[in-house]
Amino acid sequence: MRIVRMVALAMVALGSAALAAEKPSWADAMRRVGAGAGARPCYVAQFGDSITYSMAFWSPMGWADPGLHIPNDGLPKNPVGSRWRDLIKGVRDKGAEFGNFSGWRVTNLLGVVDRVLERHKPRVAIIMIGTNDIQGNIVPPTYRGHLERIVKTCLDARCIPILNTIPPKRNAMKAVEETNKIIKEVAAKFSVPLVDYCAEILRLQPGEACFGTHISEDGVHPTAGRTQDYSAGNLKASGYALRNWLNFMMFRQVYFTVLGR
């Protein structure tokens, strides 16, 4: 499977030439998941820890129009007869009952994911978990199995998971790299979309440069600022703007490629 990193689309936002859209390798598998599902059409679940629980993540989709920065890539820029802010539901759904909370590890998410899927019936779920699991720069041996169970639970509920790699973490980059290798392998195993958030951060701000630009001084959380501004300059400065943009572009691809809108 070709791991979809969204690098090309992010480079478009930074001024590179637009590339024609092509069918992603996960499209057929995800069509089988989403076909005919009786779920809420465009409810997007947010699964993760404080980096997801923060209102800086995803909530701008409810009030800011990303259309200005969408490239000419062969896909429609906007849904027919609607705006993205009207179509994407659940953008402000934060808290344990919605599958995200501060300090959460993969076991916390695994413990609630089935109930969240049953209650809210999302068509898509953005998943990023692991930053709190790697205390001591070590990946727990149970991490892979728990993440696979989360993904499979989503698929069984006919919900399309969008996996995110975890961002750089100061003094824990060995474990970050190991965790992200697992995330990519799980995405490949289940043929689900992947946003390689960590790779994009390090591409834009290599090495230690990411700390203080995309990653806050605490060495863990993304920086905020203008989280709805997807201009080239701001994508190099705001960690949350970058994550919002990459996940929006992946959702847009899922929307037009898989959901048949």
pLDDT in tens, 230-255: 999 999 999 999 999 999 999 999 99
Place of tokens 């961002």: 167
Q: What is the domain partition of the chain in residue ranges?
A: 7-257
Q: What is the pLDDT of residue 10?
A: 41
Report CA-CA distances (Å) from 110 to 67, 114, 115.
34, 8, 10
Kind and range of the H or E run holding 194: strand 194-195
Distance CA(237)–CA(18), nearest Å, equals: 22
Q: Are 125 and 161 in contact (CB under 8 A)?
A: yes
The CATH topology of domain 7-257 is Rossmann fold (3.40.50)
Distance CA(96)–CA(49), nearest Å, equals: 10
0.75 cut: is pTM over it? yes
pLDDT in tens, 186-238: 999 999 999 999 999 999 999 999 999 999 999 999 999 999 999 999 999 99
Report CA-CA distances (Å) from 126 to 43, 99, 150.
11, 10, 12
Q: Indicate the pLDDT class of residue 119, thresholds 50, 70 and 90.
A: very high
Q: How many CB atoms lie within 10 A of CB 1?
A: 15
Kind and range of the H or E run holding 44: strand 44-48
Mean confidence (pLDDT) of the chain:
90
Amino acid at 109: L
Distance CA(119)–CA(52), nearest Å, equals: 19
- Supply angle C-alpha 48, 139, 135, rounded to 5: 75
Partnered with residue 211 across adjacent β-strands are 215
Q: Are 10 and 245 in contact (CB under 8 A)?
A: yes
| Mean pLDDT (whole number) for 113-127 | 96
Helical H runs in the chain?
7-13, 27-34, 50-53, 84-87, 106-120, 143-156, 173-190, 197-204, 232-235, 239-257
